[in-house]
Amino acid sequence: MLDVVAKAVFSTLAASASLKRLASRYGMRHEGSFARRFVAGETVPEAIDAARVIERQGLTVTLDLLGESVGSTTAAAEATGAYVRLIDEIARAGVSRNISLKLTQLGLDIDRATTVDNLRRVLDLAGQADVFVRIDMENSPYIEQTLDTFETVWTLGYRNAGVVIQSCLKRSEGDVRRILALGARIRLVKGAYREPPSVAFQQKSEVDAAFRDLTRLLLTEGTYPAIATHDPDMIDAARRFAKERGVAPDKFEFQMLYGIRRDLQASLAADGYRMRVYVPFGTEWFPYFMRRLGERPANVAFVLRGILSESPKSPESP
C-alpha cells in the first residue's frame, strides 16, 4: 500500500514545473550533486565516461537520452536528431551498442506517422552502426500505440529493436505472447508508473507473482529476454528456473538501473551472468529522477542529505 501512495505522491510532484526548475538548478551542478546518483550527467561525453567505468567492471550498458512527452513536431525532430548523433558518438567511442528511448520523445503525443518516421530514422542509422534500440514502455494509455508502432517497424523489416513489458499490468501476458509471436526481444520490468486498479495489480505480491510467471515464459519461449529488476527474489527465481531448464547464461541478460544495487550488479557479473546497466543522461532528468524516488522512499532521505550538504555560499546561489 505504501508503495502505491509513494508512486502517487511522486508522480504528482513530477508534474510540478516549479519543483523541476528548482531541482534542475541544483541536482546536477557538480560530481556530488544529488541527482548524479541516478543520472549519469547532462551530456553525451559524461554518459560515455559513465559507460566506460561500468564496462571496466565487466558489465554492459544501454544509454538513454532522457526526455518524454514532447509537444511539437519540432521538439520530436530535435530528439530524433539527438539520438542520431548519440548513435554516431557511441560507435566512435566504442562503448556498448545499445540505446533506450521513449516513443513520446519521438512524437507519440502528436501523431503516429511522425513517430514512425522518426523511429525509422533512428533505426536506419542504428542498423548501419549495429546498435540495438530498446523502446521503453510508458504508462498504460501509451501501451497499445507503442506495441502497434513496434509491430509496424518490425513488419517493415527492422530487427534491431525490442520492447518492454510491465508485469504490473493485467494485460501483459497477452502482450508478451503477441511479441513472442514476432520473435522479438522483450525486457521485462515491474512497471514504474502509477496505474489504476482497472488495468494494474495494486499489491506488490501480485506484481511479483506476475513477474515470476512472465520470467518463466520468457526464459522458455523468448528471444534473448532481459530480466530487468533489482529485486533479489525475482533474480533468484530467474536463476533457479534457468538452471532447472538448462537455459544457458548467455541466452538472457539481467538489467538494472544506473546507481541502484551496484553490489548486486557486480555479483551477478562475477557469477557469470550477463548484466546490462541502463544509463540515463540529459537535461530532462527530472521525471525519471522522481520515478526513482517514488519507487523507494528511502531515496528521499539520501537526496535530502545531498541537498543539505550543498554549500549555500556557492557562486550560483541566489
In whole angstroms, what is the distance from residue 318 CA to residue 202 CA?
Answer: 43
Interface residues for ligand FDA in 119-178 (CB under 6 A)? 136-137, 164, 166
Q: Quick check: 268 binds ligand FDA (CB under 6 A)?
A: no
Q: Quick check: 190 binds ligand FDA (CB under 6 A)?
A: yes
Which one, of 202, 201, 172, 171, lies nearest residue 188 by Cα? 172
Interface residues for ligand FDA in 288-307 (CB under 6 A)? 292, 295-296, 299
Please count the other Cβ atoms lying within 10 Å of the Cβ belonging to residue 25: 12
Residue from 120, 216, 261, 262 in contact with ligand FDA (CB under 6 A): 261
**Nearer of residues 74 and 205 to ligand FDA, judged by Cβ:** 205
Chain centroid, CA 102 distance in Å: 9
- Burial of 67 per CB tally in 10 Å (0-12, 13-18, 19+): buried
In whole angstroms, what is the distance from residue 14 CA to residue 9 CA?
Answer: 9
* Residue keyed to cell 565516461: 49
**Nearer of residues 88 and 217 to ligand FDA, judged by Cβ:** 217
Strand 60-65 vs strand 253-257: parallel, antiparallel, or unpaired? Answer: unpaired
Q: Quick check: 238 binds ligand FDA (CB under 6 A)?
A: no
Total residues in contact with ligand FDA, by rule CB under 6 A: 23
Q: Quick check: 99 binds ligand FDA (CB under 6 A)?
A: no
Q: Element (H or E) spanning 133, and its range?
A: strand 132-135
Q: Which residues are annotated as catalytic?
A: 136, 187
Q: Which stretch binds ligand FDA (CB under 6 A): 41-49, 52-60, 169-177, 249-257?
A: 249-257
**Nearer of residues 53 and 113 to ligand FDA, judged by Cβ:** 53
In whole angstroms, what is the distance from residue 179 CA to residue 277 CA?
Answer: 23
**Nearer of residues 88 and 147 to ligand FDA, judged by Cβ:** 147
Which residues make beta-bridge pairs with 65?
Answer: 281
Residue from 65, 87, 189, 210 in contact with ligand FDA (CB under 6 A): 189
Q: Quick check: 192 binds ligand FDA (CB under 6 A)?
A: yes
Distances from the Cα of 2 to the Cα of 9, 57, 232, 290, angstroms: 11, 35, 20, 16
Q: Quick check: 68 binds ligand FDA (CB under 6 A)?
A: no
Strands (E), 221-291: 226-228, 253-257, 275-281
**Nearer of residues 42 and 295 to ligand FDA, judged by Cβ:** 295
Report the interface residues with ligand FDA, using CB under 6 A.
136-137, 164, 166, 189-193, 228-231, 255-257, 260-261, 278, 292, 295-296, 299
